[in-house]
Chain A
Amino acid sequence: MSNDIFIKKGLNINLIGTAEQVISKAPLSNVYSINLQDFHSITPKMLVKQGAEVKAGEPLFFHKGHESMMFVSPVSGELVEIIRGDRRRILMLKILADKEQTYVDHAPLNAETASAEEIRARLLKSGCWPFVKQRPYDIIAGPDSEPKAIFISGYSTAPLAADTDFVLQGKERELQAAITALGKLTAGKVHVSVGTSSSSPLAKLRGIELHKISGPHPAGLVGTLINKIDPINKGEIAWTIAPQDLVIIGELLLTGRFNAERTVALGGSAVKAPKYYTTKIGAEIATFLYASGVDSDNFRIINGDVLTGYKTRPDGYLGFYNNTVSVIPEGDDYELFGWNKPVFDKISSTRALTFSWMFPKKKYDLDTNMNGEHRAFVMTGRYEEVFPMDIYPLQLLKACMVKDLDEMEQLGLYEVAPEDFSLTEFICISKQPHQQIIREGLDLLYKEIG
């Protein structure tokens, strides 16, 4: 049984440097890192001291609000550094990996027979809970939250993103275990989307509601899926989990070990040989970046895809949720008459002497230039063309900017995450920071009402 969803509104951003579907093993990283930036609104309380020896899967810290929610080390080794920022806020933990990896052994848990409480406790204790995110607010799910449904998008449409079908191959057992376990934590359904002509292992799972989705980006964003199936109302909670994280959850249940291994797509026009690597959460990006080679000396490395990721450096580390690393040229140069000359080599959502509408299949080499200056909102009706949700994007953004809580609620802020506004941000003529505006709006709403 599957249900078909067609997305009409949107825009595919075709970039040069899609990862070739070949998996290599990345050289081992010496140091692994947990970046606290990945865990929005989490206040860490450390459990181990600097210099302590930890095993893979051993808790490093917990969230101050929920003492049962553990965050664990991806590898075994020595906690060599705790990097702190202003007011001693913890920014990053660095672990020097052992040559021989040792794991914390939880007993395997049979998802079929275990109770919901056992599963919940196991996920919290083992460090798998942070993979479960919730909407509203786009934060890690509360440990005692009761979701009305769980949503998983197995369709990747973001530019240069890892192909979900490809990275999940051969992981059927893990996926099934994770789905069965998570299914027990909700009274509702587990909604899974895959592409229409996909051979994804997700499509064959039991205990899910399968949706075949087609159309341009953002068809693959989980927010689009939620909006089309069962939009979140005020007071309701929905969980979202990325498919690659289901594999880690599944393996934990099957073997009792937290295995942080993950297949990562390395892509972008600045990469010589874009392809897939298996590595671990928190691995140094340089380990696999230089295995593929970089083409230029002025480039930007993005932890995640080019629309939603964050900027990092070669000595940065793979983010907790990321299975894509993009490397594109920096655009820190002036362009003569860039505002009025005909443009063939950049993407545009208009036809104002821009010609990307003539070549929908062409792949582009976009850089990080803003292509203009920040302005007040002027144009209307443009965002709606790439925003498939039943929400007024411009009005919601303005409500967030003026901090009008009632308007934010009523216009649907509970239903969205910043990533849902990545495409409107991309085409924004006024170059407004949409994702930041939405993030700040969500934070405010969480603080005032959450």
Chain B
Amino acid sequence: MSLKNKLHDLKEKYKGKKMAPAFNALHTFLYTPNDTTHSGSHVRAVDDLKRTMNTVIMALVPVLIFGIFNAGYQHYAAIDAANGVIREASLFGNFLTWDNFLIGAWTVLPLVIVSYVVGLAVEFVFAVIKGHEVEEGYLVTGMLVPLIVPVDTPLWMLAIAVIFGVVIGKEVFGGTGMNILNPALTIRAFLFFAYPTWMSGDKVWVHGAVERAGTADAISGETVLGYLAQGKGSEFSYSVADMFYGFIPGSVGETSTLLILLGGLFLIFTKIASWRIMLSAVLGALAMGLIFNGAVSSGWVAETSKFYGLMSFDFWKHLIVGGLAFGIVYMATDPVTGAQTNIGKWYYGFFIGFISVMIRVFNPAYPEGVFLAILLMNVFAPTIDHYVIRGNVKKRLKRNKNTPVLPKGGHGKEEELKVETV
């Protein structure tokens, strides 16, 4: 008896039982189910949610691999810097090395494993309790989470944050497709507000910087934005190429703008993510950056101002440092929490970019705003959609001028309607 038939028999055995969703979740990973159409269209396109989520994960894998090497590279680069050795980043010279990989794998892979194991465990528990199938949303969330946290995040912290994020961010609303806030960003926000010392400052972004702090071997773990926010823009030695290729400290997966750009183009090409959101978010970030640059060049901001460092930062460079590019490509485009109408997506994306750069500049304690900007716009996305859809409704009502706009829940509605439709 083949594996296929054995699994089919097991599926029949579990049908209607408590454990059915858990079994089906594993079964459908191996085999697309034998379900056939019953009502409506008898044939269906090949795309399903698993394929969709898988495509996003494919776009994330290069970023993850780069993040693993970069974790090691930044560790050794910081040690070199502490010893006064200046290094030039070179992809095959000192980046793609075994040493870097081992450090990176040792620090990053546990984050990935904890994120997936804890998150999926919560999903399975909820699926079994509520008796629905395990939906695939967490496949992407689980991959995003390790990429947007500092490399030395303690695993227990991550586990608690994942449980909080999945339960409060998603399951209480009814699971995948129903949540208001992006679950990965909810997890990130929980970490940020619950354990701020581990999530910000000049130590957390490079492996080993925290535990070496205060010792003779102390190394720096500051990000480009951190330098700028403290007005020490002249102290870092990263070139534009370093920032674009990603040889800079930062959250695990956010640094390589090049790979994020390629991932974004892949998602647009496969029609999985919205190009409207990505493009308008880039435009929004550039617009805000230009406004700040303009304010600086008009002399409105004194050089002694604590905002000067970030405000005078070239507007386009905002896109290649920090988590802005990662947020725009992988998080802002989440279809569930983003705007759902095509027109709404333009506004939604634009404000994400715009507000991200604004928070960056005006929040010196934590000079990265993209996750807060996306969460904020997640909350406003339904409002944006509401106005877009009202536009369509108004057009329909205008077409039929005789129809009065009925107040919601109004009394005497039935009589009114009867008069009209007769």
Contact = CB atoms under 8 A, between A and B. Distances in A.
B269 interface: yes
Contacts of A173: none
A231 interface: yes
Interface string A344-380: 0011111111101000000000111111111111111
A430 B45 CA distance: 11
B54 A339 contact: yes
A422 B420 CA distance: 31
B230 interface: no
A198 interface: no
Given A353-B55, A381-B274, A335 B31 contact: yes
Which of B7, B31, B402: most chain A CB closer than 10 A? B31
Interface string A402-438: 0000100011100000100010011111110111100
A380 B40 contact: no
B44 A336 contact: no
Interface residue tally of chain B, by bracket? 35 or more
B46 A354 contact: yes
Contacts of A351: 269-271
B420 A350 contact: no
B15 interface: no
Contact of B45 (A348, A353, A435): A348
Contacts of A436: 39-40
B396 A376 contact: no
Contacts of A367: 43
Interface string B321-341: 000000000000001101011
A435 B54 contact: no
A306 B43 contact: yes
A307 B41 contact: yes
Contacts of A368: 36-37, 42-43
A381 B32 contact: no
A233 interface: yes
A230 to B, nearest CB: 10
B357 to A, nearest CB: 26
Nearest to B402: A235
A425 B51 CA distance: 17
A330 B40 contact: no
A308 B81 CA distance: 68
Interface stretch (A204-212, A284-292, A389-397): A389-397
Contacts of A426: 41, 43-45
B47 A372 contact: yes
Nearest to B132: A376
Contacts of A373: 24, 28, 33, 35, 48-49, 133
A369 B34 contact: yes
A428 B37 CA distance: 13
Given A300-B42, A352-B47, A391-B392, A429 B271 contact: no
B37 A370 contact: yes
A39 to B, nearest CB: 18
A331 interface: yes
Interface stretch (B148-156, B175-183, B294-302): B175-183
Given A352-B55, A375-B177, A376-B177, A309 B48 contact: no
Which of A307, A337, A338, A450: most chain B CB closer than 10 A? A338
Which of A332, A373, A377: most chain B CB closer than 10 A? A373
B8 A334 contact: yes
B23 to A, nearest CB: 13
Interface residues of A, number: 81
Contacts of B335: 378-381
B30 interface: yes
A374 B50 CA distance: 11
A84 interface: no
Contacts of A89: none
A371 B417 contact: no
A121 to B, nearest CB: 22
A113 interface: no
B36 A370 contact: yes
B399 interface: yes
Contacts of A394: 340
A120 B396 CA distance: 32
B33 A370 contact: yes
Contact of A347 (B33, B45, B336): B45
B393 interface: yes
Contacts of B29: 339
Contacts of A354: 46-47, 51
A377 B175 CA distance: 11
B4 interface: yes
Interface in A194-227: none
Given A349-B45, A384-B342, A430-B177, A422 B403 contact: no
A369 B52 contact: no
B176 A375 contact: yes
Interface in A1-51: 13, 15
B240 interface: no
Given A348-B47, A426-B44, A436-B39, A334 B34 contact: yes
B102 interface: no
B272 interface: yes
Which of B36, B43, B397: most chain A CB closer than 10 A? B43
B421 A233 contact: no
Contacts of B406: 406
Given A373-B35, A392-B389, A427 B28 contact: no
B137 interface: yes
A311 interface: yes
A375 B135 contact: yes
A427 B393 CA distance: 26
Given A340-B51, A348-B46, A369-B35, A376 B270 contact: no
A430 to B, nearest CB: 6
A328 B403 contact: no
Contacts of A235: 400, 402-403, 420-421
A439 B133 CA distance: 26
A118 B68 CA distance: 83
B43 A378 contact: no
B170 to A, nearest CB: 11
Contact of A435 (B40, B133, B136): B40
19 contacts: A159-B43, A235-B420, A300-B36, A300-B42, A332-B34, A334-B34, A339-B32, A350-B52, A356-B46, A370-B44, A372-B33, A372-B47, A372-B49, A372-B50, A375-B136, A377-B177, A378-B176, A392-B389, A431-B44
Given A380-B335, A434-B40, 6 more contacts: A300-B42, A335-B31, A352-B47, A352-B271, A406-B406, A411-B389
